Every structure is written in structure tokens, then in C-alpha cells.
Structure 1
Amino acid sequence: MRQHDYEDSDFDDDSDFHDRLARLQRRARSDRAPAPARRGRLTEDERARLALLREDAYTETALPDGADRWTTWGEAEQGPLPRPDWVITELGAVDTDLGVLKTGKEADVHLLRRNLPGTDGVLLAAKRYRSDEHKLFHRDAGYLEGRRMRRSRENRAMAGRTTFGRNLIAEQWAAAEFAALSRLWAFGAPVPYPVQRNGTEVLIEFLGDGDGAAAPRLAQLRPEPGELTELWHQAVAALELLAGEGVAHGDLSAYNLLVHEGRLMVIDLPQVVDVVANPRGLEFLARDVRNLAGWFHARGLSEQVTAIDELLAELTKAAGLG
């Protein structure tokens, strides 16, 4: 800076000048930092997530193995114990986004590799809930019955679908799915292991092969008669396990069941319904059964095998409502 540039300035001494310069430098760094993923007032989880991204943005050293971020394990809500051996818990691990596996109305699912530098690591499914792109979640009115937050301000924001309210709803769906997966996995239901939840992102066991090809959905398959019958029995066993815990999937169909290594696996569980607490619980349970049975009927399975009315009576009893 030239002498005459600051001779007539408002700075009385060098300390004022250096304070002003420091503020300008901080502002410049802030302009280069990652922007919030959502407009409006941020939730606490989103604020913490953004702070970590900005911290990484100020780090000039490149991440190992061309990764996108350091592991978020240390900041996340972690999966149930005992954890599978393949779960990477070391804080020196890195995460690399390998692309989109599925897009949906409320969330996108990405393929993620988590590894210690120099190792192959493991593949995970990263389900990331969105909010700003949608005025409301198309399913939330009935499913969120009984899931009200404690603070009236937050309830009003959610009911009014403000930007802040939609951010809260997105986090609530992520938290609900992680809690449901943790609960169901703990008692042996056929669901993928929930690794962690960090804000609106849920990391889940990837069901597929080592090359990143996801296991097929039941809807994509055309099973032979013997395999069709076996898959139906697996579906009934899953329904019985859920009902025994007092819950229903809430949106069960051939599109949210995967067939992984010959085993039927239940996915997409943010809307899991407590059949006792939710006034429409039995309605959701019955719809799950009828939707699924309809797909099996269309593929040639006899209605005598599915025996819907008998199955519903057994599930209602298992849930403690019969």
C-alpha cells in the first residue's frame, strides 16, 4: 500500500490498520467457503455440518486417495452394537463419493467408499434427504403422527412448511430411518446395517457386489415358481418380525425390497409406523400386506398360498392388537 493511500484514513495507529486488514482477510476466506445446502435459518445439525466443510475448505493439503472428505464417523450418531467387523471406525479414514445409485422425491442415494488411506475400504450407501427442492414430503402427514417435536416454535415451522421447517422435517426423516434401521437390525430383521447418521445423511450397509453394482429390487425380477414361493415366505417372515415389534413398514412394495445373495432385504424405512400408537397403524399394516401380495399374485403365486385374511389376523395378533 502506498503512503498516501492511508495518510487520510480513519486509522489512528498501526493496530487499527492491522485489525481492519485481518477482518478483510477473514471475509475473503468466508467468501470462498462452502455455501449452505439450504436457504433460510439452519438447524443445529446443518450448522455443525457446514462448519466442518468450511474447516476442510481452509485446509490446503489435499485429502489422501483423492477423497472428498475426512470420515464423519466422529461427529455422527453411530450404529447399534455389536457392530459388524467391516465397519470402519478409525478417524483417519476418508470418504469418496462414487456417484448416484438412486434418486427419489425426498432423498438421493449415493455410492460411497470409506477407507483408510492406501486400503480398499468398504462401500456404503449414503442416503441424503433433501428439503428445499420440495414444498413438502409427499408422505409425511400420516406417517409423522405421534412424532411431534417438543418445542412449539419448531412444530409451527414444520406445520407451516417454512424453509426452517422443511429442514427440520428432512432431519426428522433421516433420524426416523436411522432409528428404525437400528431397532430392526438389533432384533434380527432383514435390513441393512445402519452405520451412522450425520444431519440429513444416513450411511447404510451397501447391498451389492464389490464393483458397486447394487442388488436388484424384487420388482426387477421374474422368479421361477419355486423361487417365487420362497421369496413370499421370506416376506411373510419379515412382516411377522416387524409386527412382533409392534411396527409396520408403512410403504412396503416390491420396489423397496432387495434380493441380495438370495435373501430378501427390507429398505426405505423412514416412515415405519407404530401400529399401536398411530391411529392408522392397522390400515398401514393391511396396505403393506395387500400391496406385496398383489405383486406376487401378478407373478403367478396362488391366493391360496398368500391367504391374505389369515395373514393379517396373525400379524394383528403378533402386534398385540388381536
Structure 2
Amino acid sequence: MPKHSKTRIRGLDADDLEWLAANPEPDPDLPPSGDRWSTWDQSTPTERGPKPHPVWLVTELAAVDTELGILKTGKEADVHLLSRAVPDTDRACLLAAKRYRDSEHRLFHRDAGYLEGRAVKESRMNRAMAKRTSFGMRLIASQWAQAEFSALCRLWELGLPVPYPVQIVGTEILQEFIGTSDGFAAPRLANVSEGLESLWEQLVEAMVRLAHEGLAHGDLSAYNLLVRDGRLVIIDLPQIVDVISHPTGPDFLDRDARNVATWFASKGVTAADPDTLATLLRREARLP
């Protein structure tokens, strides 16, 4: 029988490995450009913002999400700037992606008071959250993300000045980017020095409407209020408190009033008085 020569298979040398590292095979699950396909279809209708959706919002499934940088870091979550655009069209929008930290990070350093009244049905889950196990921390992250998204939806429908809540996927909340069309974020109230009398009036109106619904922001300050074109926008709402059902709800209402009124008073707004605002809010919330 004729002898058949064996084909010698050459192993990859250093040049081959270097070329492969520089020219990786494209991932078929990723778009040709950008960082991921739009996650719009990953949210159920109840995990999307209120209808009608704003005309600026890109909901096409052919859209691509591109990371543009980080807007804000915090102990509980980071906020990233995201562009969602349909390739080769003029359909594009900027979104703020708030991503709650996973269980490897220190979560919710002041959450104990806020979590009262948010117990889940399963005792195993409640024990895990109380003990801050890895599973419990993931539950807390999910609970806070859901609480913030629900609060944004509710307040948006009430006509309060909050970013439009686009969607929630796991512990990521996508919401309207408050800033310029070229990606510059609106300043925090703490960094604004003009038009403070008008901003104070806007804030009192918003807080009164919140109190009328039996709600308090829970952590309101000059650092979680944005100012865009002379208008206030309230952000950071995971800890929103039902002042009627929460054991210490009135205290949260008083603290919000004290924090913001003291700041405005320090800037020369004579109408800003903590006690007067607290009394007004308690009366609006029908509290003693």
C-alpha cells in the first residue's frame, strides 16, 4: 500500500498571536460599532417609562448604545452618559444610565432607615437583607433600583420636575439626560448663584406637591437638584419616603425642609425659612 505523508500542523508563533490579539474575531452578538445593541426590548412594558413616550426617545430595536463617559460616582451607584442612536440615521438621544453597585461594593451606607416598610414577602430574603449577605446585598440593590424607577414614573405622571424614566433593566436605570445636546451635564444647584429666588419658589412648589401625595424626597439637598435653563430638576430618588406609612416619615419631611431652606437662606433668599417650610409641608401632608 502506498505510504501517505502526514500533514504537519504548525503551531501559532509569536507573530500569529500578536496579530490575533490586534485583530480579534468580531462578536456576533455585538453591533459593528458602539458598545451594545439597544436594551429597549429587554424591558417589559411595565419596566418602561410612562406613555406617551417623548418624541426624542429612540425606541427602535436597530439602535446601538455607546458609552460616552461617567457623569457621577457614588457609594451606591454610578451614573454614565450613553448615546442611543440608529446607525446611518439622525435618530439619536442622550441618556443617563444609573447603575447600582454589585455586592462586592459597599452598598447603601444609610439605608437602614429608608428600608423600613420595604420588607419582601419571603422571610429568607428579609433575613438575607438584614444580615447583608451577598444575596441580600443584591436584593437591596434590586429593591433600590426598582424603588427609584417607580418613583420617577409616578412623579413624572404627576407633572413634577424629574428626568423622564426611560426603562429599567436589572439594576440599571436609563433616564433622560439633563444637560446640553453635546453632552455637558446641567449644574447642581450647589454650583448656581443666579436666579435663586425663582429656584426657591419652584422648589417649594415641588415639595408641596410631593407632600400632598404623602411623599418626601428623603435626602433632598442642593446636591441632588439640577438647574437647566433656569428650571429645577429633582434627581436621586431611590430613598423616597411615604411619610404617612413610614414610622418616622414626618422626620424625613422636616429634614428635607431644613436642608434646602438653610442652603437658600445662606445664599440670601430671605423667604427661605426651615420652620415655615416644614410647617407648610406637614399641613399639606395632613400630618400633626
Q: CA 1:62 to 1:283, structure 2 compared with 1: closer, same or farther past 3 Å?
A: closer
SS at match of 2:28: coil
**Which residue does the alignment assign to 2:197?**
229
Match runs of 1:155-304 below 5 Å: 155-223=126-194, 227-302=195-270
Q: How many Å apart are 1:132 and its aligned residue? A: 2.4
Q: Distance in 1 between matches of 2:30 and 2:117?
A: 46
Task: Verify the 8 A CA contact 2:261 2:277 in the aligned structure 1.
Answer: no
Q: Distance in 2 between matches of 1:72 and 1:189?
A: 27
Match runs of 1:1-322 below 5 Å: 59-60=27-28, 63-64=31-32, 66-76=33-43, 77-120=47-90, 121-223=92-194, 227-302=195-270, 305-322=271-288
Q: Distance in 1 between matches of 2:263 and 2:177?
A: 25
* TM-score normalised by L of structure 1: 0.78
Q: Distance in 1 between matches of 2:225 and 2:106?
A: 28
Structure 1 window deviating more from structure 2 (145-154 vs 263-272): it is 145-154
Q: Which amino acid aligns with 1:98?
A: L
* CA offset digits 1:191-243 (Å, max 9, x no partner): 010000000100010010011000000001122xxx11111101101101111
* TM-score normalised by L of structure 2: 0.86
Task: Verify the 8 A CA contact 1:135 1:161 in the aligned structure 2.
Answer: no
Q: Distance in 2 between matches of 1:255 and 1:228?
A: 15
Q: Distance in 2 between matches of 1:230 and 1:245?
A: 23
* CA offset digits 1:132-165 (Å, max 9, x no partner): 2434411210011111111111111111111111
Structure 1 window deviating more from structure 2 (120-129 vs 130-139): it is 130-139
* CA offset digits 1:267-299 (Å, max 9, x no partner): 000000000011111100110011001111111
Task: Verify the 8 A CA contact 1:143 1:273 in the aligned structure 2.
Answer: yes
* Number of residue pairs the alignment of both structures matches: 260
Q: Distance in 2 between matches of 1:157 and 1:62?
A: 36
What do you get for the CA RMSD once the two structures are aligned?
Answer: 1.6
Structure 1 window deviating more from structure 2 (118-127 vs 187-196): it is 118-127
Task: Verify the 8 A CA contact 1:136 1:161 in the aligned structure 2.
Answer: no
Q: Distance in 1 between matches of 2:26 and 2:115?
A: 40
SS at match of 1:306: coil
Structure 2 segments unaligned to the other structure (5+ residues):
1-24
Q: Distance in 2 between matches of 1:281 and 1:119?
A: 49
Q: Distance in 1 between matches of 2:30 and 2:70?
A: 24
Q: Distance in 2 between matches of 1:219 and 1:310?
A: 22
SS at match of 2:223: coil
**Sequence identity (%):** 60
Task: Verify the 8 A CA contact 2:265 2:273 in the aligned structure 1.
Answer: no
Q: Which amino acid aligns with 1:144?
A: L
